[in-house]
């Protein structure tokens, strides 16, 4: 509508002048119409009543201006504005009637009440009409510009989301979808509630492009079922954050986010056992190495909630340490806990000893490690020294300083490893198992689990970026599978597992069922409202298979042997692993270090195959230093 766009483009002063002119003319007509209604016929001329007629807008304008009737943005007026109109018009009519009586002006006394009713109707009707012209009229013009959405869930969360969306000009809610049959065909704030079977019709008739899930308290398994139901429809799916985030004030009902991988996995979390969370932390001195990493930072948050006396953050990266320390210092859960941020490497035994002795550390969560498989394949020396030797140094120092608990964050890649990173983590586990007999007063515990969601290198953010760029989405292999767990759940289980056992224990977290990465990529594409490209080139986003990277394997395992026991926690198991005696392991470490210093990676891999159970390196040596040295030798020859 050209008129609508012209009005919207006018300066605010002009808009107010138009509103005032409409009110002046309308109130004059209202005063005349009241006379005609009073006498039941058209009284003409009305010259005897002119003073009283013109007095009405003269009184009304200053009242309307002071009451803010010309300051309100008509497109967004609501019930409070209606109350303002009622009180303003009533005040005007009272003053007007008083003036007529005091000045003895000619005007039918009984018509004054009629004028009040007509003025009330007129002022209200003109505002409502203007609101419709400027809002609903714009929808007809800008149908393609406004995103049309459906809200799944007509409960309290859905209503609050609707209220939030109503303030966003680029969104329009077409309807609710809800499984409660008693709500079907009912309206909530003028928005109809439909059944699931009606979604296809809503998409076709109203060009719906997105569905918002508004049931934050929904269980993970039910959320997964809803997402699977929505997958065939050509709509993007977004969701409200979890209810605990909303209650904690971290987010609001208007914070719609894209569907996360945990929504696709449908894994219901087991409530933590409070006694296991607090056992090694409350009123004790806790140290976390690698405190700024994905797992390390979440461990910091979990530990802080259990009120340790002192929390030592040990981190090699200055920026990572700054980020996590700043976050924790501004946390409401800091309480009386003293934060100590220390820059340092796990290879620095003297600094580690100084920290443990100065602060009297009781518990250490060792999360410092290089975890990226291809990077470690290209940097074998650094990966083995940091992950294996660094863990041995930190654990041995803890034993020497009388630290009560040392918890190693391990990985499923340590099981029958096909890469150096996995082998380095298995060596770290073996070091702790051997040290347990050397330092029986320290309880060494290892916790092994798979991929965590949202960590550096996680697949979902990569998929989303590739989709936003128009594709293709890259997957290494059609059959590659991985175990997944959320970072908060992993950190919580690590803390609980660290409170179990007698020492030398290898705990394995229940990761649920492995997920095929290719299927995950397809779901993300579909739930983004796009079509997977087929072999003929039809569709929006293509999946390309790039081949396994160095050291990568199709399937990952969490156990080495079959000798596994349950624990008191349903998501934590205990594995029994073979290991070397400490003296024998140290001899291997000395030999391994010598080979690394000589950059003899073939010897390194042969030694790893001998001492690490099930190690089978699936790719050639791709370390950049050895390749560079060999190339240099070749060029000199």
Assign residue 319 a region (left: φ > 0; alpha: ψ between -120 and 50; beta: otherwise).
Answer: alpha
Catalytic residue among 159, 413, 523, 526: 413
252, 218 Cβ separation under 8 angstroms: no
549, 621 Cβ separation under 8 angstroms: no
DSSP one-letter code for 1? -
Q: What's the CA gap between 321 and 256, in Å, rounded?
A: 30
Q: What's the CA gap between 379 and 249, in Å, rounded?
A: 43
Q: What's the CA gap between 93 and 302, in Å, rounded?
A: 65
Query: Comparing C-alpha atoms, which of 510, 445, 574 is closest to residue 269?
Result: 510
Look up residue 47 and give its two tokens.
């010259």
DSSP string, 554-617: S---S-SSS-EEE-SSTTEEEE------HHHHHHHHHHHHHHHHTT-HHHHHHHHHHHSTT---
Residue 420 to residues 345, 402, 605, Cα–Cα distance (Å):
21, 31, 8
103, 54 Cβ separation under 8 angstroms: no
Residue 34 to residues 29, 331, 600, Cα–Cα distance (Å):
9, 66, 104
Q: What's the CA gap between 161 and 158, in Å, rounded?
A: 5
374, 416 Cβ separation under 8 angstroms: no
The enclosing H or E element of 508 equals: strand 505-509
How many CA atoms within 13 Å lie on the side-chain side of 446? 29
447, 408 Cβ separation under 8 angstroms: yes
Instruction: Determine the straight-line distance between the first and last CA of the chain, rounded to whole angstroms.
Output: 81
Q: What's the CA gap between 429 and 406, in Å, rounded?
A: 12
DSSP one-letter code for 217? T
407, 328 Cβ separation under 8 angstroms: no
In the beta sheet, which residues pair with residue 254? none
Q: What's the CA gap between 304 and 327, in Å, rounded?
A: 11
Look up residue 589 and give its two tokens.
């470490």
526 classed as catalytic = no
- Beta strand 285-289 pairing with 451-453: unpaired
Other CB atoms within 10 A of residue 637 CB: 5
- Beta strand 171-177 pairing with 191-194: parallel
622, 378 Cβ separation under 8 angstroms: yes
Q: What's the CA gap between 290 and 343, in Å, rounded?
A: 10
411, 422 Cβ separation under 8 angstroms: yes
Look up residue 122 and give its two tokens.
């007129």
Q: What's the CA gap between 506 and 286, in Å, rounded?
A: 21
Q: At what angle do helices 582-597 and 420-438 cross, to 10 degrees?
A: 140
Other CB atoms within 10 A of residue 65 CB: 14
Residues involved in catalysis: 413
């Amino acid at each position: 509508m050209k008129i609508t766009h012209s009005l919207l483009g006018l300066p605010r002063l002009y808009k107010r002048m138009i509103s005032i002119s409409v009110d002046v003319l309308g109130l004059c007509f209202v005063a005349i119409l009241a006379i005609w209604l009073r006498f039941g016929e058209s009284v003409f001329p009305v010259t005897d009543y002119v003073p009283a007629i013109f007095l009405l807008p003269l009184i009304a304008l200053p009242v309307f201006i002071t009451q803010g009737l010309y300051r309100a943005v008509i497109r967004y007026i609501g019930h409070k504005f209606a109350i303002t109109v009622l009180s303003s018009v009533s005040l005007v009519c009272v003053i007007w009637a008083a003036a007529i009586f005091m000045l003895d002006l000619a005007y039918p006394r009984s018509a004054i009440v009629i004028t009040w009713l007509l003025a009330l109707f007129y002022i209200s009707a003109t505002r409502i009409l203007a609101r419709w012209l400027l809002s609903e009229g714009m929808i007809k013009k800008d149908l393609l510009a406004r995103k049309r959405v459906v809200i799944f869930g007509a409960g309290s969360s859905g209503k609050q989301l609707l209220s939030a969306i109503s303030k966003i000009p680029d969104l329009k809610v077409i309807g609710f979808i809800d499984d409660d049959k008693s709500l079907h065909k009912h309206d909530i704030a003028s928005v109809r509630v439909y059944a699931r079977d009606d979604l296809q019709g809503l998409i076709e008739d109203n060009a719906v492009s997105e569905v918002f899930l508004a049931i934050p308290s929904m269980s993970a398994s039910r959320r997964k079922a809803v997402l699977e139901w929505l997958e065939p429809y050509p709509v993007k799916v977004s969701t409200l954050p979890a209810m605990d985030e909303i209650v904690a004030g971290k987010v609001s009902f208007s914070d719609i986010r894209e569907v996360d991988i945990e929504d696709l996995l449908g894994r219901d979390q087991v409530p933590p056992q409070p006694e296991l969370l607090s056992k090694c932390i409350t009123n004790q001195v806790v140290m976390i190495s690698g405190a700024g990493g994905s797992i390390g930072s979440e461990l910091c948050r979990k530990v802080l909630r259990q009120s340790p006396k002192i929390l030592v953050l040990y981190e090699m990266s200055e920026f990572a340490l700054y980020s996590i320390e700043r976050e924790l210092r501004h946390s409401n859960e800091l309480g009386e806990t003293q934060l100590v941020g220390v820059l340092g490497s796990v290879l620095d035994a003297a600094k580690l000893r100084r920290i443990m002795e100065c602060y009297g550390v009781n518990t250490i969560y060792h999360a410092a490690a290089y975890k990226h498989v291809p990077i470690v394949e290209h940097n074998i020396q650094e990966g083995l020294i940091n992950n294996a030797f660094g863990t041995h140094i930190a654990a041995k120092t803890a034993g020497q300083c009388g630290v009560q608990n040392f918890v190693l964050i391990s990985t499923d890649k340590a099981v029958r490893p096909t890469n150096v990173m996995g082998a380095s983590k298995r060596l770290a586990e073996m070091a702790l198992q051997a040290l347990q007999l050397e330092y029986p007063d320290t309880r060494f515990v290892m916790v092994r689990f798979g991929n965590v969601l949202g960590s550096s290198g996680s697949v979902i953010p990569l998929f989303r970026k590739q989709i936003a760029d128009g594709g293709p989405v890259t997957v290494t292999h059609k059959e590659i599978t991985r175990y997944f767990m959320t970072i908060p759940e992993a950190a919580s289980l690590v803390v609980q597992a660290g409170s179990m056992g007698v020492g030398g224990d290898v705990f394995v977290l229940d990761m649920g069922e492995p997920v095929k990465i290719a299927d995950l990529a397809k779901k993300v594409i579909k739930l983004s409202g796009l079509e997977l490209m087929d072999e003929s080139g039809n569709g929006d986003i293509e999946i390309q298979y790039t081949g396994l990277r160095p050291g990568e394997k199709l399937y990952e395992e969490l156990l080495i042997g079959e000798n596994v026991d349950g624990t008191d926690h349903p998501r934590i198991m205990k594995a029994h692993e073979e290991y070397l005696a400490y003296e024998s392991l140290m001899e291997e470490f000395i030999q391994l270090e010598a080979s690394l210093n000589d950059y003899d990676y073939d010897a390194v891999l042969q030694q790893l195959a001998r001492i690490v159970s099930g190690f089978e390196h699936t790719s050639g040596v791709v370390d950049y230093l050895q390749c560079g040295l060999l190339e240099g030798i070749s060029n000199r020859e």
